[in-house]
Amino acid sequence: MLERPPRRRRRATATWALLALACCTAGADEEVVHRERSLYQTILITQEPSRLCMKFTIRDRERNQSCTDPRSPKRMVFTYTRMMMASLLLTPDPGSVLVAGLGGGTLPTALADLLPGARIEIAEIDPAVVQAARTYFGFETDDRLRVHVSDARVFVKRALARGEHYDLVLLDAYSGDYIPEHLMTVEFLAEVRALLAPGGVVAANTFATSILYDHESETYRAVFGEFFNLRLPDSNNRVILASNSPLPTRATLRDNARSWHRRLRAYDVPIASYPSRLSRKVDWDDTKRALTDQYSPANLLRAR
């Protein structure tokens, strides 16, 4: 598969270099190069010795949202970002992709490079995040890659009203300590399922710990039935992979991993190891209640 010219990566590398000249102090572990209070959170851009990061401060806690390594701009720094690429095992050549949540733009930028024929759209509620991604991470849009300043659920409803469908939907709108509760209910996931093209796939980056795990698992099962769980020992996240069609066999997953292995090396995605780690096992308390628009105490459950 041909790759698009790496203009985004060049711009991100140049931006990082300028920041290093402008504000880095010798021996400093971290330098705040941008701080902004948006309508939704405090956004910090920090420069560390080997990476540039976007952080969100919610409820007085700072959490990394996106980071880039200027020495290897393609490399996905975080495990959970690499895990989201497991979605390509279920739909190896998606022609249309919706990403809920932008951060620094790591996922959509990688997908735009890897899928030169795909239409990619992003729903990001915070315009300040979009601007920070453009300014500090070299995020750029074009005719194929578009960002919409919109709540993801509102965007999904409007896309359904327009009769649109997507081969792949990536839900990545959660921060380390906060969950938009309206994006974790049976009603929302039913809308996402309706938005999928035949054989479409949804991948959700979420949490692997706390009592919320049980409720969220039941919520996905209520809408999609059987789904894959991807969990890794070095991450507190999990990625849920579900479809509106029967899940692929292990042999199909391995075949798709082989076809993607070489192309994902530069992103540091160990795609060949993922098929054996995808589990359909019900490893949660299936007596727990699914989350709905009337019952969605996700953040309270997350704290337990």
Give the pLDDT score at 211. 85
Out of 39, 68, 97, a domain closes at 68
Q: Which domain holds residue 45?
A: 20-68
Judge if 29 and 87 occupy the same domain: no
CB half-sphere exposure, 20, CA atoms < 13 A: 15
Per-residue HEC secondary structure of 212-229 comes to HHHHHHHHHHHHHCCCEE
Judge if 56 and 195 occupy the same domain: no
Residue 17: is its pLDDT beyond 70?
Answer: no
Backbone angles phi, psi at 83, to 5 degrees: -60, -35
Tokens of residue 135, six digits = 């300014």
Cα separation, 176 vs 22, in Å, equals 30
Backbone angles phi, psi at 119, to 5 degrees: -95, 125
Full-model pTM: 0.89
Q: Give the sign of the dihedral formed by CA 245, CA 249, CA 253, CA 258.
A: negative
Q: Give the sign of the dihedral formed by CA 179, CA 132, CA 144, CA 6.
A: negative
Number of domains in the chain: 2
Partner residues linked to 67 by β-bridges: 53
Where is pLDDT greater, at 114 or 299? 114
Cα separation, 247 vs 252, in Å, equals 10
- The answer to which of 39-43, 160-164, 229-233, 265-269 has the lowest mean pLDDT is 39-43
State the average pLDDT for the chain: 89
Residue 88 binned pLDDT confidence (cut-offs 50, 70, 90):
very high
**Would residue 3 count as lying in a domain?**
no
Partner residues linked to 47 by β-bridges: 31, 52
**Would residue 216 count as lying in a domain?**
yes
* CATH label of the domain that carries residue 227: 3.40.50.150
Catalytic-labelled residue, pool 60, 151, 172, 177: 172
Give the pLDDT score at 7. 46
Give the pLDDT score at 26. 30
Where is pLDDT greater, at 262 or 48? 262
Backbone angles phi, psi at 189, to 5 degrees: -65, -30
**Would residue 1 count as lying in a domain?**
no
Helix (H) or strand (E) holding 202: strand 196-207
Burial profile 92-114: b = 16 or more Cβ within 10 angstroms, e = fewer: bebebbbbbbbbbbbbbbbbbbb
Judge if 46 and 89 occupy the same domain: no
Judge if 198 and 243 occupy the same domain: yes
Judge if 97 and 47 occupy the same domain: no
Q: At what angle do helices 186-195 and 212-224 cross, to 10 degrees?
A: 40
Give the pLDDT score at 24. 37
Partner residues linked to 122 by β-bridges: 99, 147
Give the pLDDT score at 59. 57
Cα separation, 218 vs 225, in Å, equals 9
- Residue 172 among the catalytic residues: yes
% of the chain exceeding 70 in pLDDT: 86
Give the pLDDT score at 176. 61
Q: What residue type is assigned to position 201 of the chain?
A: V
